[in-house]
Amino acid sequence: MLQNELLSQSLMTNWQEYEKQVHLSRKKSSAHNVHQLRISTQMLEAVLSLASGLSLARHSKNLIVLIKKVRKSLGPLRNFQVEAKSMQKQQDEKSLGKTKEFSKFFNKQGAKAKNEAKRYLEKISLKHEKLRVKKLVRKIEKIETIKNGIQIHSEIRKVIKKSVIKLNSRMENINPDRAKEIHRFRITAKKLRYKGECLNSLTGEAHFDLESLKAVQSVTGRIQNDSVLLKTLDRYLAKKENRNDLEIMKVRKRIIDHRLKTINNQFNKLNVLKWIN
């Protein structure tokens, strides 16, 4: 985002980036393109959430729902790409022997995720949603002519402060060993990060330490990636013919140990975010 942008400009800029990433992912659903598309949905959702703070919740809500659907639909493919990278690391470190049966199982899952993502990418409506975004931009522009920057920024800060309080509350009560909890917590952290970056582009300040939040996101990301890979390994081992695959059982043990080490040495040492007025 550009520094000192208006919220209306930020919304249009992020829509254009999202639009570009949809086209790129349609051409090639590479790990990089899918990752960038998912990031663009998060940035766009962040701006739409801030627009809700200007009494425009009704107009931004439907767009947020659609953006979430796009990101969720690409989730299985993104998970596969992250898992593939983790498995490659195991092979590079020569801690993984011959895993012909697992490779067959894993690649079959990947092919399914790619096909589903490809079908969904083609279904994404850009023309219709662009009109809705432009309509919302005009409504924000109207507010920007009535209220001054200080008033608008004050309302946006209230939205973000609620998100900081929500994240801190979850951080104090979370069980990081539970995959669903760490997943939800990471989503909350991501949303707050992009809202903070948006506020920073509007006012030049985020009102909390973005670098600390990025550290939270990074640590929880590693825990989640391990949890996702463990889920796949468990599905494979659940099949009767795979129950005694010693190589995969060894990998599973290493992943469990790595996740526990990350929780004990990094996650448990994270601090709650402080709101800076």
pLDDT tens, 40-83?
A: 999 999 999 998 888 777 778 889 999 999 999 999 999 998 88
Compute the mean pLDDT over every residue in the chain, rounded to the nearest whole number: 89
Mean pLDDT, residues 211-240: 93
Instruction: Please tell me the predicted confidence (pLDDT) of residue 138.
Output: 94
Phi first, then psi, for residue 174 (nearest 5°) are -75, 145
The DSSP 8-state label assigned to residue 244 in this structure reads T
More confident residue, 96 or 22: 22
Confidence of residue 112 (pLDDT cuts 50, 70, 90): very high
User: Closest Cα to residue 133, out of 1, 11, 47, 10?
Assistant: 11
List all residues 6 or more positions away from 100 whose beta carbon is below 8 Å from its beta carbon: none
Distance between CA atoms of residues 158 and 160, nearest Å: 5
Helices (H), the chain: 7-27, 31-51, 57-73, 75-92, 100-123, 127-146, 149-173, 179-203, 210-238, 246-265
Q: Which two tokens stand for residue 236?
A: 């494979």
Of 112 and 3, which is predicted with more confidence? 112
pLDDT of residue 62: 87
Place of tokens 């030049």: 204
- Taking only Cα atoms into account, the Rg of the chain, rounded to an integer number of angstroms, comes to 21
The answer, yes or no, to whether residue 230 has pLDDT greater than 60, is yes
Per the CB < 8 A criterion, the answer to whether 209 and 63 are in contact is no
**pLDDT in the model for residue 258:** 94
At residue 92 the predicted structure's pLDDT band, cuts being 50, 70 and 90, is: low
Predicted pLDDT at 4: 62
88-96: long-range pairs with CB below 8 Å, 24+: 90/251, 90/254, 95/250, 95/251, 95/254, 96/247, 96/251
Q: Is the dihedral of CA 27, 30, 33, 34 positive or negative?
A: positive
Q: Tell me, what's the pLDDT at 2?
A: 52
Place of tokens 């463990």: 230
Q: How far apart are CA 84 and CA 117, in angstroms?
A: 17
Structural domains of the chain, with CATH: 7-269 (1.40.20.10)
Report the pLDDT averaged over residues 221-244: 93
Model confidence at 174, pLDDT cuts 50, 70, 90, reads: very high
Does the pLDDT of residue 131 top 70, yes or no?
yes
